[in-house]
Amino acid sequence: MTNASETTSSQHQLKISKLSKTYANGTKALQQVDLHISTGMFGLLGPNGAGKSTFMRILATLQEADSGAAYFNDINILKDKHALRNQLGYLPQEFGLYPKVSAENLLNHLAILKGILHKKTRQQLVASLLQKTNLYDVRKKKVGGFSGGMKQRFGIAQALITNPNLIIVDEPTAGLDPAERNRFYNLLAELGEQAIVILSTHIVEDVKELCTDMAVLNKGQILLKASPAKAIQTLEGKIWEKHVNKAEVAELKTHFQVISEKMFAGKPLVHVYSDSQPTTGFRLVEPDLEDVYFSKIFGATATPALV
């Protein structure tokens, strides 16, 4: 049975205050970002170019911020990078592998680089990580022959070498088939029980399936921070749906807040954000997290909703 002191010790805190970054070309990648994240799975949603990767790299101590503050528990991330790295596991959007080396040998090599020099301890750790990521049976296989999902799981294995309390994964499920994505979901969910796991993605389904807390980031600004359930509640009674002809879409956009459109049975299916029925034929529907995401990105609810 877990006692109170153990529960408290596993509650990690990441506090971001007024974090900003502008590139030399004038692009404002981050603008006064404020976030408070606790132990568990946290989803950072945003389109490509929103500033997600910049934010992840700053937290991973790979890039400097222009201004602001970032603390993980009592560690000043921006000033004490070495201390943070001892607590950090990072899986970037793209990471290099030695294709002709087996998973077991490569993980062993990476463990040496991370300071685990005692051979027996390292062998036990490597075996444990390969088991955790469901790669033990293919440990002798060269990583160059791994599927996309297997490579991502290997990426998590190397990120877990130092038993981190802060885990950052950047666009981890892009290109994975449904089975591999589910395996990855299960692994991340397990990790989120004891650590802060930040999942940066543009795939709404990832956040819906995994995260108890989330934020929407676009053009360097936080547009929303809430639990997925509470974010969806803010749109109750405001999302209207209709099948239309292609020619009608442009006309609707001139009069209403069309937040999404997709083809369904060969015809566009549009979702409109409105306090009342837009026109005849629209029906009120239950909102979902995709509606939350698109309503924020396309400005239907421009005021940040901090819930």
The residue among 184 and 6 whose pLDDT is bigger is: 184
For residue 307, is pLDDT > 60? no
For residue 4, is pLDDT > 60? no
Whole-number average pLDDT of the chain: 89
Average pLDDT over residues 48-57: 93
Q: Where are the domains of the chain?
A: 4-227, 232-306
For residue 18, is pLDDT > 80? yes
Nearest to 198 by CA among 59, 28, 34: 59
Classify each residue of 185-221 as buried b or exposed e, where b means 16 or more C-beta atoms within 10 Å of its C-beta: bebbeebbebbbbbbbbbbbebbbbbbebbbbbbbbb
Percent share of the chain, pLDDT over 90: 69
Q: Are 293 and 45 spatial neighbours (Cβ–Cβ below 8 Å)?
A: yes
The residue among 8 and 93 whose pLDDT is bigger is: 93
Task: Determine how many CB atoms are found less than 10 A away from the CB of residue 44.
Answer: 26
Sign of the C-alpha dihedral computed for residues 299, 304, 305 and 307 taken in this order: positive
Q: Are 191 and 140 spatial neighbours (Cβ–Cβ below 8 Å)?
A: no
For the whole model, what pTM was predicted? 0.85
For residue 151, is pLDDT > 80? yes
For residue 222, is pLDDT > 80? yes
CA pair distance 32, 35, nearest whole angstrom: 10
- pLDDT one-digit tens code per residue, 183-200: 888 888 899 999 999 999
Greatest alpha-carbon pair distance for the chain in Å reads: 72
Domain 4-227, CATH number (from 3.40.50.880, 3.40.50.300, 1.10.8.590, 2.60.40.420): 3.40.50.300
Average pLDDT over residues 98-118: 92
Q: What is the pLDDT of residue 16?
A: 97
Per-residue pLDDT band at 131 (split at 50, 70, 90): very high
Percent share of the chain, pLDDT over 70: 94
